[in-house]
Every structure is written in structure tokens, then in C-alpha cells.
Amino acid sequence: MLPLFPLNLIVFPNEPLNLHVFEPRYRQLVLDCIENKQTFGIPPFLNEKLQDYGAEVELIEIARRHPDGRMDIKTKCVGAFKVVSYSNPAPNKLYAAGEIERIVHTDNSTFLDKEKVINQITELWQLVKANTDLPTETDFLSFKIAHKIGLSLEQEYDLLAMSDETERLELITAHLDHIIPIIREVERTKERIKMNGHFKNFDELNF
């Protein structure tokens, strides 16, 4: 049974996450995880519904304890899971817990799969003038760039639930194929608006 801390966000494997914990039930959860040397789960709360897939995180440290009991904690995602059954609340606890099955994420994507996505991301970031660097390591590339390409929470959730990297990269490619032409047209429109009212110099037409 994994203690559960539902949030309206998606956390990917190896991603750090800092949390401000203020509700009594989740303060109890954190203290129990420390005492039992236990991880806890973050299933996303999307569309007013608790989802079945979530991120398993380990508590790295309590960065700060406030006088009123609130805590600032540092965590890191160590994997993903699917909830098999819920207990809300868990026996003799304030927080919920769930029986889980862990998801094994694999990466058998090819160099060409990754190269296509990297080229798309590079164009996207140039279009939006994003000051973002590509990851130096491309293993599990999907998780490393998922928060930086404009995916919806629902799309990020689908990524977390997929076990195979090739499938995750296909989702990302389809997303980028859709949004890059839209952003190109927006940028062209912005340039046309900027030119309106300026003195224009046209080459003579030879016909």
C-alpha cells in the first residue's frame, strides 16, 4: 500500500519536485514516510477525477519546518505506478493509500526517432525564442523535455502511463507536428502587423 498525495500535476521519472505541505493529512503522510523510510505516490487529479496512473516519489529532505507544522520538502520521482485499489482514508490514517502495480519504463527508441524529435524541439524553441538547452543525454528523452514543449496535462498523463519510449516519442512528434505550423503562422502574422504603416521599398517588377 502506497500513501497517496494527489496533485494537479504530472511528475516524470528522475524529476525533482519541491512541495509546500500544509494540510494535516499530508503532514502526517510525510512524517510516516520518514519514519518508515517509505516512498509515496502522486496520482494526478484531472478533470475533477483522481486518475489511476501516478508518480512514485521519494522524500529527499525536509528543507524547512514552519512553527505551525507546515513543511517545505524536496522529493524526486523514482518511477510510475497504476493504482489497483484505493483506501480513503488508509486504516488509522488521515490520508489515502492505494495498492499499486509499478510500471517498467523502457527505452528501445532509435537514433532516428530521437533525432526527429530533437529537430522539432529546436525549431519550436527558436520560434518562441525559448532560452532552453537540450538534454545532454537522450535516454528517456520524452521525460526530459515533456514539460518544455507545451503539452497539456492530459497529454503529459498519457506519457507517464506509456511504458515504451517509442510510443511516447510518437505522441510528442504528433503534438509538435500540430503546433509548429500554427506557431509559424502566428509569427508571420506578427511580422506583417509590425510592417503595417512603415515605408516600403519594393524591387521593380520585370514582366
Residue spans per domain, the chain = 2-103, 111-195
pLDDT computed for residue 20 by the predictor: 95
166 in Cβ contact with 108 (< 8 Å): yes
pLDDT computed for residue 205 by the predictor: 63
55 in Cβ contact with 12 (< 8 Å): yes
- The pLDDT confidence band at residue 203, using thresholds 50, 70 and 90, is low
pLDDT computed for residue 195 by the predictor: 67
pLDDT computed for residue 201 by the predictor: 60
CA 142 to chain centre: 10
How does the average pLDDT of the chain come out, rounded?
Answer: 92
Q: Is the pLDDT of residue 59 over 80?
A: yes
17 in Cβ contact with 109 (< 8 Å): no
The CATH fold of domain 2-103: 2.30.130
How many CB atoms are closer than 10 A to CB 60? 13
Q: What is the pLDDT of residues 130-152, one digit of tens each?
A: 888 888 889 999 999 999 999 99
| Coil vs helix vs strand at 147 | helix
Q: Which residues pair with 74 in a beta bridge?
A: 18, 61
pLDDT computed for residue 48 by the predictor: 87
pLDDT computed for residue 18 by the predictor: 96
Q: What is the pLDDT of residues 66-109, one digit of tens each?
A: 999 999 999 999 999 999 999 999 999 999 999 999 999 999 99
Distance CA 1, CA 171 (A): 31
Compute the C-alpha angle 107/111/114, nearest 5°.
70
pLDDT computed for residue 202 by the predictor: 59
Q: What is the pLDDT of residues 103-130, one digit of tens each?
A: 999 999 999 999 999 999 999 999 999 8
- The pLDDT confidence band at residue 53, using thresholds 50, 70 and 90, is very high
C-alpha cell at 190: 506578427
Alpha helices, DSSP H, located in the chain: 24-36, 111-127, 141-145, 153-161, 165-195
pLDDT computed for residue 199 by the predictor: 57
pLDDT computed for residue 63 by the predictor: 95
Distances (CA, A) of 106 to 79, 132, 164, 171, 174: 12, 26, 5, 16, 20
- The pLDDT confidence band at residue 196, using thresholds 50, 70 and 90, is low
